[in-house]
Structure 1
Amino acid sequence: MSTTAELRRTHPRPTDPEPTRHPRPSRRARRTTAAAAAVLLGLTLAACTGADAAQQTESGTTVFRYQGSTGTVSYPELAADLGYFEDVELDWIGDVTGGPASIQAAVTGETEFGGAFNGAIAKLQSTGAPVTSVISYYGADEQTFGGFYTVEGSPITSAHDLVGKKVGVNTLGAQSETLLREWLSREGLTPAESAQVELVVVPPVNAEQTLREGQIDVASLGGVIKEKALDRGGLSLLVGENELYGAFAYGTYILRDDFIAKNHDAVQDFVQGTARAIRWAQTTPADEVRERYTSIIEKRGRGETTDLVPYWKSSSIPTPGGVIQEDEISVWVDWLEKDGQVDEGALQVDDLYTNEFNPYANGTFAPDAGPDGEETAS
């Protein structure tokens, strides 16, 4: 695994922001266990149906159906607003609260792309689901990171204090659960002790209230929801994800392999546009990013509030344009193997992700101009 210093490295904007065309990706081998064969067949049939049904507009662009998140702006949505897509048109079909549901919708063909914690994606891929991660879209940096919080004055001050207590997470089998279990292990809890830490599913928008009302003892909070909760005061950090892995990208967007093969140019456009939007957020003053987000939310007409936007601080992604680092995938494959959820050697990390569509992956960068025209790095 790379050092924290290596993961913190940043680069300026590429000399040429336009993506380089790449040859059609080869079919990636997927290893499927006998127990997962029936599930894989159903998922594959559904995915093929979704890929075959990819819609084209009159102007020839490809429609990418997706699920959003209330009161926030995703990087594909930002890319569309900035005019970074040429061959892609987004079609919002509703909101989703958890990564596992998002990637499941992509696998079954309900949407064209989904995003989740890389550990959840690797576990899905271990069942033979034919999907590939194409770009990072969230993580932790010095300004933006998630963590586990208690109310001030709580007797819970260490990992051992969690035995017999309730911890609120947004969904089971995703990032919050994995990071919590990793922390408990690092702090020396036995499997039997860790099993006594009760996980309670609480939607992110309700986590703060549920914690303050005493229905749970600890809450997993992240992003702008965390910032808003901390702004009200009365909460204490138990452990932050940045303490566990430093600056690190935790989640990626996935696409079905058959969709990539059949819609190569559109996928190229989708990734390059999203990458450029991420880089725009990384190199643009935060006030300007927040202003843009407010404008996007207000004009898309979904009846949302913009209350969370003022709490946006940074992209949270440590690499330029969301380029995926191998460590950001391999660490979770190793963890799944160690935890017995995946057979050792069943997953080949190189088969699980690709940077071939990302124009920021070539390593050639030019200086960025800061607000005063001086060179700066995100």
Structure 2
Amino acid sequence: MHTTSRRNFLVLSGLAALAAGCGTASGNGGPRNTNVLRYQGSSGQVTPPELAASLGHLEDLKLEWVGDTISGPQDIRSAASGQTDFGGAFNGAVVKLAARQASVKAVISYYGSDKDAYSGFYVAEKSDIRAARDLIGKKVGMNTLGAHHEAMLDIYLKKHGLTRTEAAKVDRIVIPPVNTEQALRRSQIDVAVLGGILRDKALETGGVRKLFSDFDLRGSFSAGTYLLTDRFIEQNPQTVRTFVTGVAKALEWSRSTPREEVVARMTEIVAKRKRNESPAALKYWRSYGVAGTGGRIDPKELSVWADWLTERGDIRQGQVKVSALYTNEFNGFRAGQGS
């Protein structure tokens, strides 16, 4: 989709959603207002909802792709404004959106960090950077500011004794992920944040060394959630239950199924949707990194970022009530249940 036509489509589909009012029956029983969920995807990747749809876990609920998202914050803004029906982002971005009085609620975790899925902070093999204090005056390249990677950098610096004044002297540079490794090798930056296929390809090439990773800092944790508007949840409770439970089942299927089988399924999904994209990156897939069983949300996964944003001065103390930001009510998956 071209940018202009995609933007027009989002606006028109948002208006159409407001005008819709007929209901359908759910396979689980009970009325709901829609059996179609509009969303944004990611080129060459398979999201948990797309996997859930392929596995049949969404029952008669259909996903309607309206384009690819450019970032998590953009994705949840689209959901909050009604241009899409759900969006996902780093939990800190979810907290910031709620702080702006957006009536939204997180319903399930969809990505995180574990021993297989993590973002690392890498330096050149021969770099003199060995510790946190060595980063003062250095450039760190990451995909965006005020989100997951900058939060991890701040946590790392604070953990190793740097004051806020010292930490502010570490230069944070926004670089498109596909250009980050190249910028490091050309000495345009001193540290590169790399994850997934970009991390694995850099390690295959050699000449880079890990300084630390988010998994090193915090162990396994869920880092991002899907959210919907309060209005949508109120009007479509059974749709939300079907969606959340289906995604939960897909997450657990990906966790319990041999990796080769998961990658084969994802490759098939990409081929069938015909979006003029390459499935090459899928061979590097290892895990969604979600910590909680079935993607259930732990309040600490939101409060840690509320605290970080408060410390940064991005939100006021007590401005956001974490307990009001999320719900596990619609997650029907339970431990031991077949996925």
TM class, shorter-length: 0.7 to 0.9
Aligned mate of 2:235, from 262, 267, 275:
262
May I ask how many residue pairs the two structures share in their alignment?
321
From 365, 373, 376, the counterpart of 2:336:
365
CA distance 1:283–1:227, shift in 2 (3 Å): same
- The 1:79/1:53 distance shift into structure 2, 3 A limit, reads farther
Distance 1:173 1:65 in 2: 27
Q: Deviations over 1:77-130 (max 9, x none)?
A: 101111111242111111123211111111112211111111111111111111
Contact kept? 1:50, 1:108, Cα under 8 Å: no
Alpha-carbon separation, structure 1, partners of 2:20 and 2:194: 36
C-alpha spacing 1:95/1:57, structure 2 compared with 1 (3 Å): farther
Match of 2:271 in 1: 298
**Runs of 5+ unmatched residues, structure 1:** 1-45, 369-378
Q: Cα–Cα, structure 1 residues 235 and 272, in superposed 2: closer, same or farther, change >3 Å? A: same
Q: Look up the match of 1:274.
A: 247
* Residue identity opposite 1:159 in structure 2: A
Q: CA deviation at 1:148?
A: 0.9
Q: Residue 65 of structure 2: which of 92, 96, 103 is its match?
A: 92
**2: CA distance, partners of 1:365 / 1:97:** 36
Return the offset for 1:149: 1.0
> What residue is the counterpart of 2:301 in the other structure?
328
Structure 1 residues 311 and 265: CA distance shift in structure 2, 3 A: same
Which deviations, in whole Å up to 9, do the C-alpha atoms of 1:201-228 show, x marking residues without a partner? 1122222222222222111112233223
Query: For each residue in 1:207-253, what CA deviation from the matched residue of structure 2 results, as whole angstroms up to 9, or x when unmatched?
Result: 22222222221111122332232222222111110121111101001
Q: Does 1:136 align with 2:102?
A: no
Q: In structure 1, what is the equivalent of residue 176 of structure 2?
A: 203
Q: Distance in 2 between matches of 1:367 and 1:276?
A: 8
Q: Distance in 1 between matches of 2:209 and 2:82?
A: 41
Which residue number in structure 2 is paired with residue 21 of structure 1? none
Instruction: State the Cα distance separating 1:335 from its structure 2 match.
Output: 2.0
Hey, what's the Cα distance between the residues in 2 that align with 1:130 and 1:180? Answer: 30
- Opposite residue 280 of structure 1, the aligned amino acid is W
Closer, same or farther in 2 for the Cα pair 1:72/1:54, shift >3 Å?
A: farther
Task: Give 3-state SS (helix, strand or coil) of 2:280's partner.
Answer: coil
Structure-1 separation of matches of 2:189 and 2:21: 45
Classify the secondary structure of the residue corresponding to 2:87: strand
* Distance in 2, Cα, partners of 1:149 & 1:103: 29
User: Does structure 2 conserve the Cα–Cα contact (< 8 Å) formed by 1:48 and 1:258?
Assistant: no
Structure-2 separation of matches of 1:50 and 1:187: 52
The structure 2 residue matched to 1:52, chosen from 10, 13, 18, is 18
Aligned to 1:126: 99
Offset at residue 47 of structure 1 (A): 12
Structure 2 residue 76 is matched with structure 1 residue 103? yes
Q: Is the 8 A contact 2:263 2:285 kept in 1?
A: yes
**1:272–1:53: structure 2 CA closer, same or farther, 3 Å change rule?**
farther
Kept in 2, the 8 Å contact 1:67–1:114? The answer is yes
1:223 to 196, 200, 216: 196
Aligned match of 1:284: 257
- Report the AA paired with residue 159 of structure 2: R
* One-letter identity of the residue aligned with 1:200: I
CA contact (8 A) 2:24 2:35 kept: no
> What SS does structure 1 have at the residue aligned with 2:297?
coil
Confirm or deny: 8 A CA contact 1:140 1:316 kept in the other structure. yes
Aligned letter for 1:340? Answer: G
Deviation at 1:168, TM superposition (A): 1.2
Provide TM-score, normalisation by structure 2.
0.88
Q: 280, 295, 299: which one pairs with 1:307? A: 280
Q: C-alpha displacement at 1:259, in angstroms?
A: 0.9
Superposition RMSD on alpha carbons, in Å? Answer: 2.4
CA contact (8 A) 1:55 1:63 kept: no
SS in 2 for 1:317: coil
Range with bigger deviation, 228-237 or 98-107: 228-237
1:162 is the counterpart of 2:115: no
The CA deviation string for residues 286-337 of structure 1, in whole angstroms up to 9 with x for no partner, is 1100111111111211111121111111231122211111211111122222
Q: In structure 2, what is the Cα distance between the partners aligned to 1:188 and 1:47?
A: 50
TM-score, normalised via structure 1 length: 0.79
Task: String of CA shifts for 1:145-202, please: whole Å, max 9, x gaps.
Answer: 1121112111222222222221111111110111111211222222222222222211
Unaligned stretches of 5+ residues in structure 2: 1-11, 26-32
Percentage identity across paired residues of the two chains: 48
1:366–1:91 CA distance, 2 compared to 1 (3 A)? closer
Contact (CA 8 Å) 2:14, 2:83: kept in 1 or not? no
Aligned to 1:341: 314
The verdict on how the C-alpha distance between 1:346 and 1:216 changes in structure 2, with shifts beyond 3 A counting, is: same
Deviation at 1:283, TM superposition (A): 0.6
The one-letter amino acid paired with 2:18 is D
Which one-letter code corresponds to 1:52 in the other structure?
Answer: L
Of the structure 1 ranges 89-98 and 168-177, higher mean CA displacement relative to structure 2 is found in: 89-98
